[in-house]
Amino acid sequence: MSEPLPLNIGLCGFGTVGQGVWKHLSANLAELESRLGAKLVLARASVRDLKKKRAIKVPAKALTDDPMSIATDPSIQIVCELMGGTTLARQVTLAALRRGAVVVSANKALICEHGPEIIATAQRHGGHFFFEASVAGGIPIIKALREGLVANRFPRIYGILNGTCNYILTQMEERDAPYAAVLAEAKRLGYAEADESLDVDGWDTAHKASVLTWLAHGVWVKTDQMIVEGISRITPADFKNAAMLGFGIKLLAIITRDFARNEISVRVHPTLLPEGNVVANVSGVFNAVSVTGDVVGTTFYSGRGAGQDATASAVISDIVDAAALLKHGKGAHLLGEVAASPRNRGRLAPPESIRSRYYLRLTVKDQPGVLARVASVMAKQQVSIASVIQSPADQPGAASLVLTTHESNERAMGATLRQLRALAAVLDQPVLLRIGDFE
């Protein structure tokens, strides 16, 4: 047998993930090459600062500070975009796809913002775009949705997609600690970024929800078309109230589709989950996804959602798929055709179609008649109260009012919130959490 032609791999971005890919791919290279019947060469990597010392040693001539030079290098068949951001990352991705290369991406923000352009560019120029690492780190959820569960349509997909938020919520619950203190500690430990808003305000989860929605339903949903709420207003008291009612609290992405109405809803918000729910029991930095298919029923996936090693595992699986594709032909990568399938399209659900039970925490003046006024506002919106817990609030002269509702919808609850805010007796911004009655 003659020596197979090498497949050259370029890494645009050589931070935590890039170095993880280099390390683990190098360690398992012989094994992977033997499986593929192809030679894989880690040819080039781009860094911000050529002089910086790194844990992973790379030949100096393989390094560049210009990622575009890798994207446009005709000898590089597989370009991994691991820089993050959406400006230079977009340019690098499009440039590589335009010359027919395979791009492997971990960049959910980029996909969420520029997915249609990226896929169209890949299709026009014969390039390919792989993104297993963009959602849920090392859990092969993209492959499961795209290939393993291809026989299914998906009435519901939900899960924990941001390890930072899950770490913070788990710590708050276990240690009865306030949000700000846990966040500060998470920053010290490196579990949260200096600018935490991408994580804690739900945007990172929303980007990943967008990727999953496209895979499952063939539609691109941007973050401004979703409900996106973060975790910063949750208090230890919310955990105690939820526990009293039999729930835990998780930041979830929830993607549902009503096939009868052909309506899709995508939302990211803290959710009360029944204590026995398997997603409710996923703690710390772990991610978890529950996928309900119309044929298979509900399947569940969990694992590390971020970090050098888990993300590298996903990137390397895409590199191997890319190598198999380049060596053996197009194979099972049905990617482009997902979005192209017209039957697969749905429209966004209006707020009145997005139904759930709700948990509402109000800080109110501790005086007669307040509960009556609150209840009257809710009754006007046809929101039916299921339970009430009243307790003294931290402020003197104030009470905490925790209400749960029977099933209602986003339109009614939106109107309820607006009217409650207008009541003189309601002191702080109300905290509204959804209750997830999921199996």
Positions annotated as catalytic residues are 208
Q: Does 94 bind its own copies (CB under 8 A)?
A: no
List of residues 6+ apart from 98 with CB closer than 8 A:
121, 125, 127
Stretch that binds its own copies, among 50-58, 187-195, 263-271, 303-311 (CB under 8 A): 303-311
CA distances to 82, 142, 411 from 127, in Å? 18, 19, 43
Choice between 198 and 310, CB closer to its own copies: 310
Q: Does 331 bind its own copies (CB under 8 A)?
A: yes
Closest distance to its own copies from the beta carbon of 380 (Å): 43
Q: Answer yes or no: are the C-beta atoms of 234 and 251 closer than 8 Å.
A: no
Q: Which of 8, 313, 400, 409 binds its own copies (CB under 8 A)?
A: 313
Three-point CA angle 422, 424, 429, nearest 5°: 60
**Interface of this chain with its own copies, residues 138 to 197, rule: CB under 8 A:** 138-140, 143-144, 147-153
Stretch that binds its own copies, among 55-63, 76-84, 318-326, 349-357 (CB under 8 A): 318-326
Closest distance to its own copies from the beta carbon of 322 (Å): 9
Choice between 31 and 224, CB closer to its own copies: 31
CA 249 to the chain's CA centroid: 17
Closest distance to its own copies from the beta carbon of 20 (Å): 8
Q: Which of 128, 208, 269, 304 binds its own copies (CB under 8 A)?
A: 304
Closest distance to its own copies from the beta carbon of 175 (Å): 18
Q: Which residue has the tokens 């335009």?
A: 98
Longest Cα–Cα distance in the chain = 89
* Separation CA 194–CA 198 (nearest Å): 10
Closest distance to its own copies from the beta carbon of 218 (Å): 9
* Separation CA 316–CA 248 (nearest Å): 35
CA distances to 54, 166, 326, 349, 415 from 418, in Å? 53, 29, 56, 21, 5
Choice between 116 and 336, CB closer to its own copies: 336
Question: CA 149, 151, 152, 153: dihedral to nearest 10 degrees?
Answer: 120
Tokens at 263, concatenated? 């309506």
Question: How many residues of this chain interact with its own copies, rule: CB under 8 A?
Answer: 62
Q: Does 324 bind its own copies (CB under 8 A)?
A: yes
Q: Using CB under 8 A as the criterion, which residues of the chain lie in contact with its own copies when the complex forms?
A: 24-25, 28, 30-32, 34-37, 132, 137-140, 143-144, 147-153, 278, 281, 293, 295-304, 309-310, 312-314, 316-317, 320-321, 324-325, 328-334, 337-338, 340-344
